[in-house]
Amino acid sequence: MDNQILLVDDEEGIRKIMGISLMDAGYDVHTAANAEEALIIFEKIHPPIVLTDIKMPGMDGIQLLKRLKQIDPDTEIIMITAHGDIDLAISSLKSDATDFITKPVHDKVLQVALNRAKERIALKQKLKQYTEGLEEMVAQKSRQLVEAERLAAVGETVAGLSHAIKNIAGGLKGGSFVLEKGLELNNRQYLNEGWEMIQGNVDKITRLSLDLLNYAKPDQPEFNLTDPNVPLKEVGALIQPLARKYKIKATLDCCEHLKNQMLDSDAIQHALLNLATNAVDALKNKKSTANWSPMLFLRTKAVSGWAVEYQVEDNGEGIHEALIPKLFQRFFTTKGSHGTGIGLMLTQKIVDQHDGRIDVTSKEGSGTLFSIRLPLR
């Protein structure tokens, strides 16, 4: 422990007598005749213990106590007071003084106060060491948890990717079988069906590869001042031919009161196109009824506290409520062997990169609404 000590008293005789006692006790003693001088010395040597008289000309001992605590809260400060100044001494304890002793100062009383100060110093050091050790332990455990989560995520990703590839491989194998039968039997229908199965699965593995590449891109969004309606209008133009193919009425409704915002227009377009394509899949797979016609709605809305809300809504099959929390999990899909789940993974990633939020409301048999809100920038 640092044995330096600062003694502050305006009486020279007290400084000499107490200085001798402190040196005999093994301390390296520095003395000051007033608070101003004490502050200068303290800034130079930062002693762990300070003894100061309470009543001094100019800045008194309590004011010095407060100044020293501002500089270094861990400094232990013992107040020296006359018998008539007990109220001041008690007041100093409220300002975090370690102890007080009265004049004339007796060596045994002084030693008790110094021992108490050293005990407090030792306790603070132990607490600091414990806290630092605890922080290191927490950091180490956090690193272990992150690593475990990373490995789990890798395992989950590999499992999901394997499942997707397995489905595609099964489709290719089935298509090859039908194609071979067509060749063997010279059956034109089998040849066409087998070729369509193979072509469809080749397209699927191409989309899977592109989606994986997009998802794995480490690039940060390129934010530019953009009309929030632009990405949705581009999606509307891209989705119209597909909608017409399946006799889906696609409606584009853009809010014209939106202000330009900082966003990555290409990334947002990609996210919205994923949702719109999924909506088309939901609509084309629903069995038609007499009172139902497939409809897709693409909207932007002004929402208080947000830059924009995008909505992609369909009146298709809907999603069972138990599946909604799983939609953005790795490789989860509601399309069975026809989907990979990467599209929604990528959409979630893009929304997260924009510090936005994505919500889903759906009712089985009635349709699904995906909404994306982006914050003001």
> Mind listing the pLDDT tens digit for each residue in 37-79?
999 999 999 999 999 999 899 999 999 999 999 999 999 999 9
Q: What does the alpha-carbon distance between residue 318 and residue 50 come to, in Å, rounded to a whole number?
A: 75
The fraction of the chain above a pLDDT of 70, given in percent, is 85
pTM comes to 0.47
What separation in angstroms does the CA of 332 have from each of 45, 161, 274? 65, 10, 14
What separation in angstroms does the CA of 4 have from each of 19, 23, 118, 290? 12, 10, 12, 95
Q: What is the pLDDT of residue 152?
A: 54
Cβ burial, residue 103 (10 Å; 0-12/13-18/19+):
middle
Q: What is the pLDDT of residue 5?
A: 95
Is 59 strand, coil or helix? Answer: coil
Q: What is the pLDDT of residue 298?
A: 96
Q: What is the pLDDT of residue 211?
A: 62
Residue-wise pLDDT tens digits, 336-351: 545 555 677 778 888 9
pLDDT bracket for residue 94 (50, 70, 90): confident
Q: What is the pLDDT of residue 50?
A: 96
Decide: 332 and 354 in contact? Cβ < 8 Å: no
- Taking residues 218-246, report their average pLDDT: 88
Cα 42 → chain centroid: 42
Of the listed ranges 2-6, 302-306, 346-350, 351-355, the one predicted with least confidence:
346-350
Q: What is the DSSP string of 293-320?
A: --EEEEEEE--TTEEEEEEEEE-SS---
Residue ranges of E strands in 151-239: 224-226
Q: What is the pLDDT of residue 15?
A: 92
Q: What is the pLDDT of residue 138?
A: 73
Ramachandran area for residue 6 (φ above 0: left; ψ -120 to 50: alpha; else beta): beta
Q: What is the pLDDT of residue 318?
A: 84
The dihedrals phi and psi of 358, each to the nearest 5 degrees, come to: -125, 135
Q: What is the pLDDT of residue 63?
A: 94
Residue-wise pLDDT tens digits, 247-286: 899 999 999 889 999 999 988 998 899 899 888 888 887 7
- Taking residues 223-233, report their average pLDDT: 93
The pLDDT mean for the chain works out to: 84
Better-predicted residue by pLDDT, 186 or 116? 116
Decide: 296 and 258 in contact? Cβ < 8 Å: no
Cis peptide before 104 (omega within 30 of 0): yes
- Taking residues 293-301, report their average pLDDT: 93
- Taking residues 232-240, report their average pLDDT: 92
Decide if pLDDT at 97 tops 60.
yes
Q: What is the pLDDT of residue 234?
A: 93
Longest dimension (CA), the chain: 122
Q: What is the pLDDT of residue 151?
A: 56
Residue-wise pLDDT tens digits, 303-338: 999 999 999 999 988 888 778 777 766 555 555 545
